[in-house]
Amino acid sequence: MDSTNHSSYFLSSTPPSIDCAHAPPIPTAIADTGYTGHFLQMDSPCENKIQTNDGIFVNMPNNTRIRATHTCTVTIPGVPHAACSGHVFPHLNTPLVSIAQLCDHDCVATFDKTSVVITRHNSTVLTGFRDPSTNL
């Protein structure tokens, strides 16, 4: 669950903008290839949020560790329930969607220099964009 050597693209509920003169859509999460699970903020949309006293620890890029306070289910239409289990971290700045967890459940993530498209059985389930200001 270390965040080194990964790529991040912002996921959005709307397709990425083709017109570069306009700002990209506001991200709802970051598509992250380095984490093994979906990691959410306290106010992230999810279901079945259950408090836990033995939540997982995650090593952050700044060498700190954070601990999950809840487990939950992320709602991603078209993706099996098993691919949607998540962990809630109160001090997380941005929700992270695990590309590995999705691909382990028959999703395909296609990255190019400006976007990511995640499909399952040839249907698009998520889209995202590469942030031109950070190159992530």
Q: Where are the alpha helices (DSSP H) in the chain?
A: 99-103
Measured CA to CA, the distance from residue 20 to residue 114 in angstroms comes to 11
Sheet arrangement for strand 47-51:
47-51, 70-73, 85-88, 38-40, 96-98, 29-32, 8-12, 123-129, 115-120, 107-111
Q: Is residue 135 part of a domain?
A: no
Q: Is residue 91 part of a domain?
A: yes
Tally the domains of the chain.
1
CATH of the domain at 91: 2.40.70
Lowest mean pLDDT among 28-32, 56-60, 84-88: 28-32
* Start-to-end Cα distance in the chain: 19
For the stretch 91-133, pLDDT in tens is 888 899 999 999 999 999 999 999 999 999 999 999 988 888 8
Domain that holds residue 46: 8-129
Single-letter residue type at 44: S
Q: Is residue 136 part of a domain?
A: no
Q: Is residue 1 part of a domain?
A: no
